[in-house]
Amino acid sequence: MVRRLIALLVLSLAGAAAFGLSNASSGISVSGAGVTGSTFRSELAAIAATPTIECYLTGLAPANFTRGAGGATLAASGAAAWSNLRIEGIAIGQFVRRQWKYQPDARALAVATSSLEGEMTQAAAANQLNCPGTSAQALAEMPAEMRNAEIEAQAASLYLVSKLNSTIPLTTASMRAYYASHASSYDTICISVALVTPAQVAAFSNAQASGKSVAALARQFSVDSSAKNGGAYGCFAPSSSSYASVRADVVTTALNSFPTTPQSVVLSGTTYALYVAPTKRTTTPFAQAASMVLADLRNANASSANTVKEKILYQAAVAVDPAFGRWGLGTNGPTVFAPATPAAADVKSAAALSTASASTYK
C-alpha cells in the first residue's frame, strides 16, 4: 500500500467536465522533467479504453476515470487524478535521485512490480471493486512508457520510505515488538449499543447520570433490535473488517459504560444518537492480530512519508496544461484540481445576447 498511501489525493474533483483526448497540449512538467502532451493523451486514452486499467486506478485514486459524454473523452476528474499520480511519481523519483543518487536496478524493479500489483489488488478490494482481470493484467495492458513510469515510481516510493528515520520495518520481528508494547490496542472487544431518538436523549442522559447500567439503558431507550438483549451487539477481533471503527468508537470509553457524548447517525432521514459501550476486552494472540498490526504500521509509515511527500511537492516546480487540470493548494497540500467548466446559468440565450444593454448615446 506504499504508493497509494504516499500518493494521497484531494478528491474534491469536479466530475461533470470532460477532457477531450484529441486536444493539443504541452503535458505536465515537474522541475524540468515530465510527460509530453501526446504521451499523456495516450495514457488517458488507454485508461478510458481499458476497463481493467480504469478499475484498478479507481481503487488507487478514487475518481471518475470513465469516458466523458462525447467520443474520445475522459471525465475531467480522471484526467486530474492521473495528473496527480504522474506528478507525485516524477517528483519522488527526482528527490531520491538527487538526495541519494538512487537508480532502481532489476531486482528493485521486480520488487516494485510485485508491490504495485499487490497494492492495486488491495485498493480494489478496499473500495469493493470487482475488476475484470488481475492487477498484473492491468499493468500489462498499459502503454510501455506508462507501465515503466508506474513501476519506477513505486520503486522510488519504496526507497523513500526505507530511508525515513520514522519508518518501522515491516518485518515479523518489528511487528511482534510493536504488538508487545501496544497489546491492549488489539484486544478483542465486545460492545453494546443504544440507538436513541432525539426526543429521548435528555431522558437517556438523566438516567445515565443516575447510575443505570448499560443493559438497563439500552432496554429502556434504544430503538435498535439489540435492545431486548440489553444492547449486546457482538464481539470484534482484529481480523474483523469492522474492528478499526469499533476500536476508534470505544478508545476513550471505560468498560461497561456508555460515553456521555454520543455519535450521530442518520437512518431513513432521521438523526439518532448512537452510544457505544465496551463490555469486555480479551487479549488477542499476535497471530490473530498480525493483519491489524501490519495495517497500523503501514498507516504510521505512510503518515511519515506523506509529510515528506508534501515537502517534495511544495519545492517542485510544477506546470500542468490547463486541459488536464489546475495545480493548486488543497487541504492535503499541493494537488491538481479538475479543470472547471462554466455553469449553464451563466450562458445567456441568443435573444438576450442580441439585445444591447448599454444606454443609447445621445
Mean pLDDT of 70-86: 77
What was the pLDDT predicted at 349?
A: 47
- Percent of the chain as helix, strand, coil, to the nearest 5: 50, 15, 35
Mean pLDDT of 165-190: 85
| pLDDT tens for each residue of 309-319 | 888 888 889 99
Mean pLDDT of 16-41: 71
User: Residues 150, 96, 8, 328: what is their CA dihedral angle, to the nearest 10 degrees?
Assistant: -100
Contact yes or no for 129/59 (Cβ under 8 A): yes
Confidence of residue 74 (pLDDT cuts 50, 70, 90): low
Name residues whose C-beta falls within 8 Å of residue 115's C-beta, 6 or more positions apart in sequence: 2, 3, 154, 158
User: Global pTM?
Assistant: 0.59
∠ at Cα 342 (318, 51), nearest 5°? 65
Whether 298 has a pLDDT exceeding 50, the answer reads: yes
Q: Which of 52, 26, 49, 48 is nearest to 39 (CA)?
A: 26
Q: Where in the chain is the domain with CATH 3.10.50.40?
A: 188-282
Q: Determine the Cα–Cα distance for residues 142 and 154; give it in Å rounded to an integer.
A: 15
Strand-pair partners of 192: 232, 277
Lowest pLDDT segment from 39-48, 110-119, 311-320, 336-345: 336-345
Mean pLDDT of 175-181: 89
Q: Which of 135, 156, 148 is nearest to 57 (CA)?
A: 135
Cell of 211: 447510575
CATH 3.10.50.40: does it fit domain 188-282? yes
Q: Which of 65-79, 209-223, 286-300 has the highest mean pLDDT?
A: 209-223
Contact yes or no for 9/63 (Cβ under 8 A): yes
What was the pLDDT predicted at 92?
A: 93
The average confidence (pLDDT) of the chain is 82
- Higher-pLDDT residue of 240 and 93 is 93
What was the pLDDT predicted at 355?
A: 39
Residue 178 parent element (H or E): helix 172-181
- φ and ψ of 279, to 5 deg: -110, -15
Lowest pLDDT segment from 43-52, 310-319, 326-335: 326-335
| pLDDT tens for each residue of 230-286 | 999 999 988 887 888 899 899 889 999 999 999 999 888 889 999 999 999 999 899
Q: Determine the Cα–Cα distance for residues 18 and 16; give it in Å rounded to an integer.
A: 7
- Portion of the chain with pLDDT greater than 70, in percent: 83
Whether 170 has a pLDDT exceeding 80, the answer reads: no
